[in-house]
Amino acid sequence: MTAIASLSAAELGALYAARELSPVEVARDALDRIERFEPEINAFVVRDEATTLAMAEAAGTRWLKGEALGPLDGVPVTIKDNIAVAGWPMKRGSAVASDAPWTEDAPATARLREAGCVFLGKTTMPEYGWKGVGDSPLSGITRNPWNIGTGPGGSSAGAASCAALNLGCIHLGTDGAGSVRIPAAFTGVVGLKPSYGRVPAWPVSTMGFLAHLGPLTRTVTDTALAMNAIARPDERDMTAIIADPIDYVAALSGGVKGLRIAYSAGLGGDVPVDADVARLAREAALSFRELGASVEEVDPGFADPIETLMVLWSAGAALALRSIGPDGRTRMDPGLVAVAEAGEQVPGSTYVDALLNQRNALAHQMAQFHARFDLLLTPTLPLPAFETGRNTPAHGGYGEDWTRWTPFTYPFNITQQPAISLPCGLTGGGLPAGLQIVGAFAQDALVLRAAAAFEALRPFARVDAPIKSI
């Protein structure tokens, strides 16, 4: 990496303030690197160099005048293709979607724009974000910089690959069943799913209360900086949390001494966990004892909520595709079409039961668990990144359903709790593994504080993702 590309958002802000670096220099460096890596990685669906440089020039002028909008002014960011950006289309990974530009920013986009961030483009995703890998009929296959024969996971696929290569500092993603944390784990970056409503959404996802927005970054501090910008209520989202603003950066200090932490190697299920991933995650979890926390190996005690997820997920897919006729569906991902067709058969009473009764029962069970434990740690995923062109790995006994290899992420979309994935080392094959930290609902600041303490003990951010062939 060049010197500029290795800098975090926090470091850029300090250098801008000292007039040792300009946003235009940073933007040009990012654009040059995107041009270099994009043919191999395929992480973008929209690139707009003129807009990027105009935003950088405006940020540079503000810094020179002493009128910077804040610590993120001039920091380069990317935005996932299912999040609205005024002036750019939002195709959601679909070849049948309109090319017309949106006239209004989504709330999180607007907050980043108000903070002075420089938009590098929109990143790739599977069609309508329906699965945990990174290919779509619109953009093809997005690849993992750690090994381009493997995928970065999904659905925030391009965001994660960009984060791993520092093609920008903050990468806005979405997470309906793990779509921020899955690719964060596969690419060795930080990925936060905040509590539901912490980051407002508009347009509202058809996945309803499962869908969260959150950042992927290279450092916990950059994640906190992003949250300071985007975690504010918006009148377009009636479910957004109404609360006094939290300074997530200030909340990073304090450590974890005295916290009660549970570690679950598999959430009590029977999904096979790769031996390297299991070892790295367990070592990472037990390292919290070095930081003064108590760590107990214990499962939270709930049954796999896959049926609840699939009722909500398939019904959401059906709603997303309801205006697309048979001809359009022939141009779509067949897996998505199949899920939507299954969702069309879900009775209303079954949906309401999953939405209210089953979801609330699991949330109540986790609330009781967190009365005993401040945090729950798990592997983010049971395996490292696998080959592209597949929805499930060819080996390992995970079957044909992509949700079967993501059993540790989607429960916490159902409960709406904050959860973060942190890199915790490399497997023998040289691929990243992830540690997931889960907190009680609305305890986002505590999750970030624990993440910062772990990152300080086991730093990974300066491990650069190499572009390697399989």
> Which residues are 173's β-sheet partners?
214
3-state helix/strand/coil string of the chain? CCCCCCCCHHHHHHHHHCCCCCHHHHHHHHHHHHHHHHHHHCCEEEECHHHHHHHHHHHHHHHHHCCCCCCCCCCEEEEECCCCCECCCCCCCCCCCCCCCECCCCHHHHHHHHCCCEEEEEECCCHHHCCCCCEECCCEECCECCECCECCCCCCHHHHHHHHCCCCCEEEEEECCCCCHHHHHHHCCEEEECCCCCCCCCCCCCCHHHCEEEEEECCHHHHHHHHHHHCCCCCCCCCCCCCCCCCCCHHHCCCCCCCEEEECCCCCCCCCCCHHHHHHHHHHHHHHHHHCCEEEECCCCCCCCHHHHHHHHHHHHHHHCCCCCHHHHCCCCHHHHHHHHHHCCCCHHHHHHHHHHHHHHHHHHHHHHHHHCCEEEEECCCCCCCECCCCCCCCCCCCCCHHHHCCCCCHHHHCCCCEEEEEEEECCCCCEEEEEEEECCCCHHHHHHHHHHHHHHCCCCCCCCCCCCC
Of 132, 219, 120, 146, the C-alpha closest to 176 is: 132
What residues are annotated to the active site?
80, 155, 179
CA distances from 459 to 137, 146, 452, 453 (A): 37, 18, 10, 10
Peptide bond into 155 cis (omega under 30): yes
